[in-house]
Structure 1
């Protein structure tokens, strides 16, 4: 747990008070967990939170929770303004490092596939993978080597080299990435798949840009 967040105690609950809090560069949040007597309302520095979202949004974090000391927590929910993308509220769950959890882990695609060099298009189907592991073993990302993918090839969850103690929570035959044929050789099904992939990648791009603006 190399990432740490400093939380401040929060008593503001009205819309006007929360709006004022955000104007001060703070983001309201709540920390839940079996290890806490009751949920804790907190305020986090918006810049610190933005850095977290850019680097380790799915990592186990060390948070200094007011009155409860340092706690291992996991970011579980983000509420954003539908127009500006501004983060309005976040939820964290306190976790036991020795208990199993299910969480999303970012997939880090590495290398250049021969199929792309031949004019094919890399289609990313999964950007994140849901895994099950002990909380202390949750990795910040999982590398995915695409350097051997030829045109028409694909990688499935079964092909991923997961760290020790990490188990995928998806079916092993779930496609992670594939290389589609060059445009002139594509079938109607591949063109439809491209449209779906392009739409999903655009959604991820917008989400990333929203984080960059925080």
Structure 2
């Protein structure tokens, strides 16, 4: 795991649409920090610096939020985008405690080379994110599905994916997460094989 990022925010007193608009006009983003113990602070962050950090760590990496010289282990809980312009309008930070459970949406990635693809199959991922329950120390940055060895029509189900530490994926019923779907080439070859088999039976 890479070193924890430290990001500095400042407290603000004015709130409301007008105050937030003025803040954004100065290159800042209004933000709020919430702790798992119920504490909250009204903050402002520099737009350019926050955007860079957001693209770097996303919403699943814990970082140190520094406010008035004090630091808080935190997550970017929500980054609200402007409906018109490509910029962030508002940010919610969540302070995390080592011993308190979290529920976080974690992105799903596939890694490896599936033999089924070489035979004409197509890898299909059915979920881009999954909700994970864990304590802060076990929070995965992403959920990796190993597709090495997957053949055509083979499926990885959500219950097949195991995470480290106390992290678990939340789901009510088992569902397909990744599948090597038969492509056109595979289907054509299967149809041809079936046709040959019927011809052979007809000659007997």
TM-score using structure 1 length: 0.75
SS of corresponding position for 1:21: helix
Runs of 5+ unmatched residues, structure 2:
189-204
How far apart in 2 are the matches of 1:144 and 1:52?
A: 26
Kindly report the root-mean-square deviation, in angstroms, between the aligned alpha carbons of the 2 structures.
Answer: 2.3
| Count of paired positions | 184
Matches of 1:85 and 1:155 in 2, distance apart? 36
**1:56 counterpart residue number:** 57
Q: Which has the higher contact order (CA 8 A, sep 6+)?
A: 1
Assess if the C-alpha contact under 8 Å between 2:108 and 2:143 holds in 1.
yes
Residue 128 of structure 1: how far off its partner (Å): 2.0
Give the 3-state SS of the residue equivalent to 1:47 in structure 2. helix
Which one has a bigger Cα radius of gyration? 2
Aligned partners of 1:83 and 1:119: how far apart in 2? 41
Q: Deviations over 1:60-115 (max 9, x none)?
A: 22111337x11112222221122334210011122211111111222232112222
Contiguous gaps of at least 5 residues in structure 1:
187-214
> What SS class does the counterpart of residue 79 from structure 1 fall into?
strand
SS at match of 2:149: coil
CA distance in 1, matches of 2:129, 2:74: 19
Preserved CA contact (<8 Å) 1:72 1:97: no
Deviation at 1:171, TM superposition (A): 4.1
Greater mean alpha carbon deviation, residues 44-53 or residues 142-151 = 44-53
TM-score (norm 2): 0.78
**What is the aligned partner in structure 2 of residue 203 from structure 1?**
none
Residue number among 15, 20, 26 corresponding to 2:22 in the alignment: 20
- Measured in 2, the distance between the counterparts of 1:175 and 1:48 equals 39
